[in-house]
A = this chain, B = another copy of it.
């Protein structure tokens, strides 16, 4: 089975996955929660109360461009487009918090319709939030003023396939599994499998500078993109005449990561590869995280890299060990997962062996493969049980990784000392010069879990800044990271980005308050 065989999952607002098919927590997990002092919260879910805000001239403007049947103003549709999937988002959703409710949801079908929406929004006083998969976990859908949502799902076509150049032009609203299915018909794969794969789409991958689980083999999404079309309130920009160019700054890399603040990406030209005919996943055991870290660094710097390369720390490995399928029921140490799209490469295994690794066989690899998109589904039942669970991530150069990992862990433990947390960590993206760190935090909810997490997150952000990490390796900036992002790049760089925004979006209608 490959990723294109996966069904397209219907994500539900305020809950990851289909409530008709709830995911149960493993029994071992429920037991573990007791040790963290987790108790079921008293209150239930609160239904949202509408706060309509769309004026008649605004509605006429929207329907005039896309047709009345492609504008939704009912509460259900708008509530389904409210916020993304951070734990804070889920908690606010449960609380019926409508502060980020769009006034309408618009479904354009073409680049020209998107362009017309953006060109005219200011004239009727509308702000616009682009929505492709809606899977932001950094407040990317919660702007600073009232807005309408432009949902790109009707832009769902494979526009062009260039088999000689191995490029595909995909519209922004093509979801991950749909992109793989469209390419699979011709024998190709994109190879981009973030954890949001089932829900996220091409435009979001580009706007948020996504990175997927096979990044060791296929690269990040920003490395796959060779061309982009961006609709802005002032017109259209097309970038990418060649794989690489010395003609000025690389404008693709200015649009990638712009998170809708400059305009809406309507299509992306991506590099594609032949679909692999075989896949292999297996686990490797190391004595401790430091030994494992040295081993994955060896592969990242000298190769040969597998397609997937991940390393869990001791805590994450121990939590995974609660599942008896993993690592033969528990033998301590830390677990790495390697995967190959294509033939198994013994040379990779040899490097790991030389670095002190023990092959733990296909069992852990298969367990990881089957569960690779499962983690977000577990968050809802965990919240139901009264646990606070959230993730955060960063990246740094290799020499800073140990101090960065220690500082973030320490900051989280200190900030959550009243509800002592489990802090899990893994490396899932490696480069010659550094790697990402991905943290999962689990503890008992306090009476105000939104504030509880805000405090913990601020402590983590400070630790990241102080030890030389970036505020995000793949989740993006949104509103949640805006302040830390500005501190990271400095006021002059922020001004430069604001100047770009002001040029492309002089009335500030695009995603106000997000990124810049």
Q: Which residues of A contact B (CB under 8 A)?
A: 162, 164-167, 208-211, 220, 222, 226, 232, 234-239, 241-259, 271, 273-274, 297, 301-302, 394-400, 429, 431-436, 468-477, 481, 485, 488-490, 492-493, 495-500, 502-504, 515-516
Indicate whether A245 sits within 8 Å of B167 (C-beta atoms), given known contacts A250-B257, A502-B499. no
Indicate whether A247 sits within 8 Å of B488 (C-beta atoms), given known contacts A241-B469, A469-B241. yes
A73 to B102, CA, bound (A): 64
Q: CB-CB < 8 A to A433: which residues of B?
A: 165-167, 226, 243, 271
A252 to B301, CA, bound (A): 22
Q: Which residue of B lies closest to A246 (CB)?
A: B209
Shortest A278–chain B CB gap in Å is: 16
A472 to B211, CA, bound (A): 29
Q: Which of B246, B252, B273, B473 contacts A211 (CB 8 A)?
A: B246
Q: Which residue of B lies closest to A304 (CB)?
A: B304
Q: CB-CB < 8 A to A432: which residues of B?
A: 166, 243, 271, 273
Q: CB-CB < 8 A to A472: which residues of B?
A: 245-247
A485 to B166, CA, bound (A): 26
Q: Contact: A476 with B246, CB < 8 Å?
A: yes
Q: Contact: B515 with A504, CB < 8 Å?
A: no
A474 to B490, CA, bound (A): 30
Q: Which residue of B lies closest to A435 (CB)?
A: B243
Q: Contact: A164 with B470, CB < 8 Å?
A: no
Indicate whether A248 sits within 8 Å of B497 (C-beta atoms), given known contacts A164-B399, A242-B395. yes
Q: Contact: A397 with B489, CB < 8 Å?
A: no
A238 to B253, CA, bound (A): 17
Q: CB-CB < 8 A to A492: which residues of B?
A: 232, 234-237, 503-504
Q: Which residue of B lies closest to A397 (CB)?
A: B165
Shortest A315–chain B CB gap in Å is: 23
Q: CB-CB < 8 A to A477: which residues of B?
A: 246-248
- Please list 16 pairs of residues, one from A and one from B, whose beta carbons are closer than 8 Å in the complex, sorted by A's number: A165-B398, A208-B246, A209-B248, A220-B244, A236-B492, A237-B492, A242-B397, A243-B431, A243-B435, A245-B472, A247-B470, A247-B472, A251-B489, A252-B253, A492-B504, A495-B503
Shortest A498–chain B CB gap in Å is: 8
Top 4 closest A-B pairs, CB basis? A253-B253, A243-B431, A242-B395, A165-B397
Most chain B beta carbons < 10 A, residue from A165, A271, A396? A165
Q: Contact: B246 with A257, CB < 8 Å?
A: yes
